[in-house]
């Protein structure tokens, strides 16, 4: 009998495993991937994290943990180098290496294992899994389950299937650089990073580069200190208690907090554009206020757009299209049999302790580390908030404060 079984091993559930490691809780986590991997298609050279290294998997809950980022640096003899580096933000490649280092030390992670079904027996949950290599199946019993299946790439149905999602960019880059014209669709950080990478890559002088955005301006990431307090346990607890309609309206207000571009990325883009020759400038276009309605393919992509303010049709052609169009929740099919209460079309109802609300009373619980935007606001996918989320889940499973959550840590009072 396990205390907690996790479905999916991304940064959220990996952090949960790391925090559970020194506790008496019996935990087990499954993922169908062969090994830990975090957005390999976006491991762009020099791309940076948007959260401080302090918001690693464990530090904000337990700075003495052996799984801190600083301990990782010590283990690879880079601690003094980092000290002289004097930066809070680290590269995405370095963060991914840190995650893999943590994963290599945890014995409750089971890869190449797909969760087929979860059944409520009344006394516990039975989790049916299948080894993706051998087809062998096994059943595990647990008091609680945490669903951390993350999100899947989202491309509008009106886009041709040959369009590349930004999560495949690194794998496709070499082939992309052979094209005559590349169009990037999107207005967030991923689109900006890809545009910058192509702009600065060793490419053919004949390559045409186009960036299409439906925004009037490219929003910068919220970096004001008081503004960042929405990424705090205090605000998340407040947000979770708001009426559904208020939360739905609030979600649309936080585009800048969630989808803004880091000032450093925008600065670098501008500096490189500034240095282009007249001939090079003619081969680079940044087009704002354009909503892409349809993309078709017949030897070449045709992009049909509408100007959001003039309501006029526009068209463009390209040899390759990269869609930085975000993600949608990856929800396992078996959740339909677990009496889960939903708010809206896909969002399940989740309480302040990250318990998924069910229509039946039960002494054992389902927890969520994914699909939380409507229940927990702009911090739902924020890596910096994953530690406090995991603290609450582990405390709730244990029935006591294994990791007390820091309260009243903001200057702003939200309620």
72 Cβ neighbours under 8 A, 6+ residues apart: 97, 98, 101, 102
Phi, psi of 38 (to 5 degrees): -120, 105
Digit-coded pLDDT (tens) for 21-34: 999 999 999 999 99
Mean pLDDT of the region 225-232: 83
- Give me the pLDDT at residue 41, please: 92
Per-residue confidence band for 256, with pLDDT thresholds at 50, 70 and 90? low
What is the residue-wise DSSP string for 229-265?
Answer: GGSSHHHHHHHHTS-HHHHHHHHGGGHHHHHPBPHHH
What fold, for 155-221+260-323? FAD/NAD(P)-binding domain (3.50.50)
Digit-coded pLDDT (tens) for 139-177: 999 999 999 998 899 999 999 999 999 999 999 999 999
* Mode of pairing for the β-strands spanning 151-153 and 320-323: unpaired
Query: Can you give the residue ranges of every domain in the chain?
Result: 4-152+327-398, 155-221+260-323
Residue with tokens 């990325």: 265
Q: How many contiguous H segments (helices) and E segments (strands) does the chain have? A: 13, 18
Digit-coded pLDDT (tens) for 295-319: 999 999 999 999 999 999 999 999 9
Lowest mean pLDDT among 209-213, 235-239, 378-382: 378-382
- Give me the pLDDT at residue 324, please: 97
Give dist(CA 255, CA 20) in Å, integer: 33
Rama region for 118: left / alpha / beta (φ>0; ψ in -120 to 50; rest): beta
Give dist(CA 400, CA 377) in Å, integer: 26
Same CATH fold assignment for domains 4-152+327-398 and 155-221+260-323: yes
- Give me the pLDDT at residue 198, please: 96
Residue 254, pLDDT > 90, answer no
- Give me the pLDDT at residue 258, please: 66
Tell me what the pLDDT averaged over the chain comes to. 93
- Residue pair 384/232 in contact by the 8 Å Cβ criterion: no
Mean pLDDT of the region 358-381: 91
Residue 255, pLDDT > 70, answer no
- Give me the pLDDT at residue 223, please: 74
Rg, Å, the chain Cα set: 23
What fold, for 4-152+327-398? FAD/NAD(P)-binding domain (3.50.50)
* Mode of pairing for the β-strands spanning 151-153 and 327-329: antiparallel
C-alpha torsion angle, residues 142, 146, 150, 156 (rounded to 10)? 90
In percent, the amount of the chain with pLDDT more than 70 equals 99
281 Cβ neighbours under 8 A, 6+ residues apart: 273
Mean pLDDT of the region 279-289: 95
Mean pLDDT of the region 240-267: 84
Per-residue confidence band for 222, with pLDDT thresholds at 50, 70 and 90? confident
Give dist(CA 46, CA 328) in Å, integer: 27
For 364, the token pair is: 């054992």
Give dist(CA 235, CA 237) in Å, integer: 5
Helix (H) or strand (E) holding 97, with range, is: helix 92-103
Per-residue confidence band for 246, with pLDDT thresholds at 50, 70 and 90? very high
Lowest mean pLDDT among 64-73, 194-203, 380-389: 380-389
Helix (H) or strand (E) holding 14, with range, is: helix 11-20
Lowest mean pLDDT among 42-46, 158-162, 228-232: 228-232
Lowest mean pLDDT among 217-231, 337-351, 363-377: 217-231
């Amino acid at each position: 009998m396990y205390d907690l079984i996790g479905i999916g091993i991304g940064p959220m559930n990996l952090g949960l495993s790391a925090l559970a490691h020194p506790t008496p809780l019996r935990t087990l986590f499954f993922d169908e991937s062969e090994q830990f991997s975090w957005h390999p298609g976006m491991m762009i050279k020099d791309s940076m994290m948007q959260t401080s290294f302090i918001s690693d998997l464990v530090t904000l809950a337990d700075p003495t943990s052996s799984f801190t980022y600083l301990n990782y640096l010590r283990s690879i003899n880079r601690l003094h180098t980092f000290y002289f580096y004097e930066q809070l933000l680290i590269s995405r490649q370095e963060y991914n290496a840190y995650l893999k280092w943590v994963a290599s030390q945890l014995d409750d992670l089971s890869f190449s294992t797909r969760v087929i079904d979860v059944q409520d027996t009344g006394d516990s949950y039975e989790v049916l899994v299948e080894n993706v290599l051998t087809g062998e199946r096994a059943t595990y019993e647990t008091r609680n389950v945490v669903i951390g299946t993350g999100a899947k790439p989202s491309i509008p149905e009106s886009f041709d299937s040959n369009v590349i999602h930004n999560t495949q960019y690194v794998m496709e880059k070499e082939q992309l650089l052979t094209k005559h014209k590349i169009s990037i669709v999107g207005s967030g950080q991923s689109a900006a990073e890809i545009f910058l990478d192509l702009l600065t890559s060793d490419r053919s002088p004949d390559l045409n580069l186009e960036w299409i955005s439906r925004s009037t301006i490219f929003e910068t990431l919220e970096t004001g200190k008081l503004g960042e307090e929405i990424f705090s346990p205090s605000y998340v607890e407040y947000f979770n208690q708001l009426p559904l309609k208020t939360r739905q309206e609030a979600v649309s207000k936080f585009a800048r907090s969630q989808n803004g571009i880091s000032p450093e990325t925008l600065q670098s883009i501008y500096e490189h554009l500034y240095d282009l020759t007249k001939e090079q400038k003619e081969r680079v276009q940044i087009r704002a206020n354009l909503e892409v309605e349809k993309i078709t393919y017949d030897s070449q992509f045709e992009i049909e757009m509408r100007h959001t303010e003039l309501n006029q049709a526009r068209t463009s052609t390209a040899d390759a299209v990269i869609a930085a169009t975000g993600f949608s929740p990856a929800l396992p099919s078996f959740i339909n049999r677990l009496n889960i209460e939903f708010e809206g079309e896909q969002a399940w109802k989740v309480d302040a302790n990250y318990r998924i609300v069910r229509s039946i009373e039960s002494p054992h619980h389902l927890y969520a580390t994914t699909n939380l935007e409507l229940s927990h606001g702009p911090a739902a996918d924020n890596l910096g908030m994953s530690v406090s989320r995991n603290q609450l889940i582990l405390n709730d499973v244990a029935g006591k404060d294994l990791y007390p959550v820091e309260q009243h840590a903001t200057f702003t009072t939200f309620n």
